[in-house]
Amino acid sequence: MTTTSAPVALVTGAAKRIGAEIARHLHNAGYNLIVHYHQSAAAADELVQQLNQLRPDSALAVQAHLGNQEALQQLAHTSIHAWQRLDLLVNNASSFYPTPLGQVDEATWDDLLDSNLKAPFFLAQSLAEKLRESQGAIINIADIYAERPLQNHSVYCIAKAGNVMLTKTLAKELAPHVRVNGIAPGAILWPEQEAISDDIKSNLLTRTPLQERGQASDIARAILFLAQEAPYITGQILAVDGGRSLTI
């Protein structure tokens, strides 16, 4: 890769679902993309191929296990040197599944904290200097359950609560050169790993003031707003949840 005048973004967990939608929206807005993935190589390669067909040499897929410190450092190194700049880090990758009390082991604890808290911190630390150079931004994907816990998801909620504090701490640490904000999604996409009945889905949407499920594009547009149109906003968590956090 060579230098570029286009802004550059690293999006973790960008191969599928919300991450892929974020990548597409950023690319459409003129960003070059580092598309991080862990196991979804085929989906990441397909997405990068689509983006490069739209704009040659504008996207790169990079594999990394976010729980591995060496892999995190290599991801940061590749992201910095891909186009010799970095303007935006989107910490989107997230593990999510039930952890009933009494059934949690250390591996489960580590898995949920690695993707939701450890990786965002160490990537921010490794990329801070490059983001300072570009007066860039970091956006973390938090959760409305960071403040009010979800039954049987204690470890995930703990990790996301840490993610919220990470956002606020980094906003102070990296000011005035780098803005750091978070987005707390509500019901956007149903979980892949956890079967949810139609009754539970209906009940959740009934308790959402806007009475409907959000779209991945709602999160992507919020990312673009915080990245490009919010120069005086930092240390904030924007709920994109149809009002769900009002009724939890």
Model-level pTM? 0.94
Q: Please, what's the b/e burial string for 58-73 (b: 16 or more CB within 10 A of its CB; e: otherwise)?
A: bbbbbbbebbeeebbe
Distance CA 66, CA 72 (A): 6
Known active-site residue 31? no
pLDDT at 201: 62
Least confident window among 19-33, 80-94, 174-188: 174-188
Distance CA 51, CA 32 (A): 9
Mean per-residue pLDDT, 88-99:
95
Q: What is the pLDDT of residues 200-244, one digit of tens each?
A: 566 777 778 887 778 999 999 999 999 999 999 999 999 998 888
Asked if pLDDT for residue 1 goes beyond 60, the answer is no
Mean per-residue pLDDT, 53-78:
97
pLDDT at 247: 80
Contact 36, 11 (CB under 8 A): yes
pLDDT at 213: 79
Task: Give Cβ neighbours of residue 159 (< 8 Å, ≥ 6 apart).
Answer: 112, 113, 116, 117
pLDDT at 170: 98
Contact 120, 67 (CB under 8 A): no
CATH top-level class for 8-243? Answer: alpha beta
pLDDT at 198: 65
Selected catalytic residue, list 31, 37, 145, 156:
156
pLDDT-based confidence at residue 146 (cuts at 50, 70, 90): very high
Q: Domain-by-domain residue ranges, the chain?
A: 8-243
Q: What's the alpha-carbon Rg for the chain, to the nearest Å?
A: 17
pLDDT at 20: 97
Task: Give Cβ neighbours of residue 238 (< 8 Å, ≥ 6 apart).
Answer: 181, 182, 183, 184, 222, 226
Mean per-residue pLDDT, 122-127:
98
pLDDT at 241: 85
Mean per-residue pLDDT, 9-15:
98
Mean per-residue pLDDT, 49-66:
97
- How high is the mean pLDDT of the chain? 92
